[in-house]
Amino acid sequence: MAPGKTAPRLLQDLLTYDARYEERAGRNLLTSPPPQHDAKGPAVAAVPFRNCRHGLFTKIEQSQLPAVGAEPDRDTTYKVAAYCTKCRWHVDVVVGRRNEAAQNEACGKANPGYPLHHFLYEGEDNASSTHGLGAQLRPRTYTFRCSAPACPVDVRISMKPPRFSDHDIETLTNQAQLRRRWEAAKLLAGDRADANMARRVDSLDYLNTYLSDSLKPTKGKARIPLLNKKFLKAFGKDCDAVLIGLGFTSDTEEDNDGTVTQVWYLPKPEGPKSALDSTLRNVIEDARYELNTLILNMPESEREGCRHTPLYPTPSRGDIERILACADSDAKVKGRETRNTEEDHPYYASLGAVGDFDDALILFAFSRQGTVDIENKAYYFECLQDLATGRESEVLGTEVAMLASQGFVSKRDTERAYQYFSIDPVHASVISDEHIIGQFKARLADISPLQADEARRQLRVLGDVRNSDSIRAEASGAIETYEQAMAWFDLDRGQPDDFVQTMFLVKTQDNPACQETAQKALSIIAETRESDRLRRFLKFGSMTEPEMDLGDAYAAFQVQDRSAELDLAVLRSGLLDQEGPRMQQAFNLIEQDQIQRFGDKSHEPSRPEPRRNNYPLETWPVGLRNIGNTCYLNSVLQFLFTIKPLRELILNCEEHLQDPSPEALKDKKVGRMAITAERVVTAQKFVRELRAFYNRMITAPTDTVQPAIDLASLALCRTDNPGEAPSSANVDVAESAGLGTIDGAAISGPMLPPSDDANRTAPADPTTPADSVMNDDGGPQSDDSPKIMEGNNDDVPPAPTRDPPPIPPRPETKPAMATKTKIGRIEESALQQDAAEVMSNIFDLISCAMHGEGILREGEQDDAIKKLFYSDVTTVLETAEGTQKNQELRGNFMVTTGRRDRSLYAILDEDFGKSDIEEERGTRYDYIERAAAIQIINVKRIQYEKRQQQPVYDHSHISLDKTLYMDRYLSKTPTLDEAQLLELRQAQWSKQRELRDLDARRTKLQTTGIDGMNLPDCLEATSEFIDDLLAENIEQQEQQQAAQDSLPTPPPELADTLHDKAKHLAKDLEGMDSIMTTLEAEIESVFRDCQDVPYRLHAVFTHRGDVKGGHYWIYIYDFQNNCWRWYNDDSITPIVESEVLDPETGKRPKVSTGVVYIRADLVEELTEAVCRRPEPVEEEAHKDVEMQEADDDDDQMPDLHWGDVQVIEGVEKE
Ligand SMILES: [Zn+2]
Ligand SMILES: [Zn+2]
């Protein structure tokens, strides 16, 4: 729809509208939308300069006005008949009311929503009646209707040209013509003719008199004989048309004497009628007003003796304002005078407003205009914006800001958006939405995700401006299909829900602006997969939303006493009234808790788990459902389950439990720490939970089970010893994560392993970057201080939330730490090695819970854990003071990749190999005195980048051999004694030293103070610079300019030297990588023939993500069935070996975070991947609808008589 205008604006336009120049102006000031203001374009005059600024006066006879002082009433049609004394045009303004029941509230002062009428142009009466030449001069009537929904008012504005055309006036007043008439009169009347020629004013004056007489007919004045002296000299034959036009008629009269006289009869208008009718009387009245004006326009000297009695009409403006209900003086800004001579800024006209509106009326006009002319909403917003600035109005400014926040966009922004998509904004109206979407998609194909969000923002602008749902939909996501959604998350089709969740978090954290898009993509994936987990995540699962714990679950059902046994059936019936997955989740938690504590009384699963695979239950490991982002815990639990002796130990734990009496604990040391009774009790609680859980893993009649919350919490339980916990001086555990306690035990993050590795894992000193700790610091732990945990307390990782998410909490959820470095270290500790740490903690708990089978070095308890997993490692220190050997037990080896793709051998060789100890001016190397049957090698993936002051994720690939020969790391093997092995080692070390030197050199060459430039590049650049400088100096000297301003001249040979050096170094750098690879191969080959102690690859802990987190899963080899399985939470699928071992490409390749090797001769004995004795499903369960359906396949199918069914080409026919 076109824009409208408020009543004052309509009046202002009416006062300057001049039909005579309309064609030249190219628009109708009254009815056409005003041109949009373009600050850059040429100025467009609001009113064409020739236009008459009308001085309107009311023709009272033709008007119908409200009584003086009275408000217009709603039943009357009002009319102001006005006449311009300047251009002699006649203007009728008629305000009528439609008779519609719904429209019963006229605008006006009393109507707060609609203080003013806002008129929309409806059309022109008889628009087609006259065309062509002179069309501008015909009478025209424009109709307008108020746009307010409840307002019945409409307005008709008639513009009528003067009764007397310029030609008429010329005819009446032209001196030459008057002279000719006088000559003719003398000829015709002879002496009876007037002695004087008519003056210019006379014809007008006489005509005025005739017309006046015609309105008040008196006897004898109805006719004018042609030979009337005055008539004869003033009007000639050439005036007939004028007279006839005014209603005069001429005839011949026969006198008594038979003479025929020509006579003019005056017009005979009807008596006064309704002001609304158009009659001959009006014509005559109008003519008189004009004659009056024409006469007054004559110089006074010429008007002498004129019989004309001047009319004193009143100005119309006030009358029109009254009937248009715009004479609201309150609405005018002080100091601004209503005027129609000065021009308002075009923005006012655009809003249908006038310059003297106050802010409230400006807003009203804006809102009306935006409502009726949605297409140009952006432009009106821009008007409002600029007026707010121009008027320095706080009210408007606030409003503009508010509207902007609601998605209002200005025309400028709109144009920018069009231009963004290479569309000329002037074509906007003819461009289709589809075209715009097409442009968007084309753009999307070759821009980055960040730019894509900008593209979407621009598209949304266009969607809003064009009010196009299809564009808005496209902008909201541009993701419609499952494939698009997965692609948006950079995921391959089959990747599991956890990846989706992880990528959702990664994406939205990288760029919060894409939240909306991410949600849409996630929702598409959730629906396509019919994944309740993703749906739940979408609904509740923002990182800030705490996962529901058991306490929440009981609270949700308003159960006060958690320890009491509940009737689950009753609880479930309550569930029916309660909507939402959160209640279902709460119920599931309670149900699980109750079954664990009181047993399953129902004898039927409440919701039969839908099968997730097709393997017979007893042949396939059970999947572990994710209980809130504990995928790393699931990986650890799965791995530990496959270690047969450990599993059996747990299942029979009652036989091995530690007596928690003080006497019994007197000599117990685990992780070199004395153990308290509380610790033992907590540990035993964990072991019992683990036993219950293992039992369910074995017997569950489903193919997945869910770890209990308590099990997960205990697995992460750091300590229950009040004497040791508070020593964490710098990290307030309770405050840092608000975990609270479980049965009095503080809940915290995974514990660092109680060994030397603890120091290696966590950067102990802010000045020591984490990635430099390998072998270089920490040193051997020769002291037997039981306080080793205390020593690490600075580095205790911040406690994660109870159910650690795959992506650790963002920094803002953490307590404010003193320094950035501290935050970096804390964050790093929290992020890395979740699986490794939770495993160490579990080992520790099991050792604490079980009584020992002997005492190892330093009082350490010997037990199944030590036997299976702990190697006795010797570190040989060679310093000036001599050679020193330190021995320690290690439950795992922590290695780094060196930030490049390497084999596990290369990594271990470096770890065990000879290296310098800086502080002690010596060297160290390690070997294994006694190797555990199970070797766990953890890979540190997150390292602290010293230069960037932030953790970086190491995505390097570690190539794994199916068989790892441990010979080279042992003190002796069946075929090689210590001396022989040392000899081989020494050969390796010399090559390793070469390698290290090369590496250091390479690092030096690669690192300069200049970003993105290695040393050769820098030298080359310097060389070029010197060259330029020399050239410049020579030039300057040639021009005999003062050389003193320039830089000192470097020796000319310097540039060449630097250039040569740069070339040389670049070549060095180039060659270095290949030399290093060769060296590594040589290092490896030293032990090529040492294959007496093979270990077999059993498990690979795998992670996909980055420093922000990611998803864990584990690959486990089944030595009984000779196959790999991929344990990804609830899903366990077979996988080919290459998938396990081969590197992935792409931005976030999966990486191994831990590998487990098992002594080859013990694999059968120590591992058993499948251990299942699923309980038979009870008969009652068949009542369940879902079970019934499942039964159809098995039981009822055979009853079908296949012979009865005709089968044609595989299509069943009834
Ligand atoms: Zn005028
Ligand atoms: Zn209205």
pLDDT tens readout for residues 801-822: 333 333 333 333 333 333 333 3
pLDDT at 785: 38
Q: How far is the CA of 143 from the centre of ligand 2 (A)?
A: 14
Query: Where in the chain are the domains?
Result: 5-163+315-401, 166-303, 409-478, 550-598, 623-862, 874-971+1090-1166, 977-1089
Task: Encode 758-778: b = buried (16+ Cβ within 10 Å), e = exposed.
Answer: bbbbbbbeeebbbbebbbebb
CA 30 to ligand 2 centroid distance, Å: 18
Ligand nearest to the CA of 324: 2
pLDDT of residue 194: 81
Q: Residue 648: what pLDDT? A: 93
Ligand 1 centroid, distance to 44 Cα (angstroms) = 22
Contact 518, 504 (CB under 8 A): yes
Give the closest ligand to the alpha carbon of residue 104: 2
Q: How many CA atoms lie within 13 A of 829 on its CB side?
A: 32
Q: How far is the CA of 104 from the centre of ligand 2 (A)?
A: 10
- The ligand that comes nearest to the alpha carbon of residue 368 is 2
Task: Note the ligand closest to the C-alpha atom of 118.
Answer: 2
State residue 40's pLDDT score: 74
Length of the chain: 1214
- Give the ranges where 1039-1109 is alpha helix by DSSP (H): 1053-1085
Q: Tokens 């975070």: give the residue.
A: 1153
Distance, CA of 566 to CA of 572 (rounded, Å): 11
Rounded distance from Cα 293 to ligand 1 centre (Å): 12
pLDDT score, position 806:
37
pLDDT attached to residue 1045? 53
| CA 67 to ligand 1 centroid distance, Å | 27
Q: What's the confidence (pLDDT) of residue 1124? A: 94
CA of 103 to the centre of ligand 2 (A): 10
List of the chain residues with pLDDT < 50: 129-133, 329-341, 542-546, 603-606, 719-833, 1042-1043, 1179-1214
Distance 46 CA to ligand 2 centre (A): 25
- Between the alpha carbon of residue 441 and those of residues 431, 452, 465, 899, the distances in Å are 16, 10, 19, 38
Which ligand has the minimum distance to the alpha carbon of residue 115? 2
The CATH number that domain 874-971+1090-1166 falls under is 3.90.70.10
Closest CA to 68 of 285, 323, 324, 289: 323
Cβ proximity of 263 and 253 under 8 Å: yes
Cα-to-centroid distance, 276 and ligand 1 (Å):
22
> Do 158 and 83 meet the contact criterion of CB atoms below 8 Å apart?
no
Contact 901, 944 (CB under 8 A): no
Integer Cα distance of 1 and 119 in angstroms: 12
Strand partners, 198: none
State in Å: Cα 7 to ligand 2 middle: 9
**pLDDT recorded at residue 1059:** 77
Q: How far apart are CA 276 and CA 610, in angstroms?
A: 84
SS3 1202: helix
List CB contacts of 1099: < 8 A, sequence separation 6 or more.
639, 642, 1114, 1115, 1116, 1117, 1154, 1155, 1156
User: Which pLDDT does position 1043 carry in this prediction?
Assistant: 45
Report CA(394)–ligand 2 centroid distance (Å). 28
Ligand nearest to the CA of residue 6, numbered in listed order: 2
Task: Determine if the pTM surpasses 0.85.
Answer: no
Q: How many Å lie between the centroid of ligand 1 and the Cα of residue 271?
A: 29
Binning the chain into helix, strand and coil, the percentages to the nearest 5 are 45, 15, 40
Distance of alpha carbon 340 from alpha carbon 147, whole angstroms = 24
How much distance in Å is there from the Cα of 68 to the middle of ligand 2?
A: 22
List Cβ neighbours of 525 (8 Å cut-off, separation of 6 or more): 482, 485, 486, 489, 500, 531, 534
Residue with tokens 């190491």: 954
Using the CB atoms, write b or e for 177-216: b if 16+ within 10 Å: bbeebbeebbeebeeebbeebbbbbbbbbbbbbbbbbbbe
Looking at the DSSP assignment, which residues form a beta bridge with residue 887?
Answer: 874
Nearest ligand, measured from the Cα of 19: 1
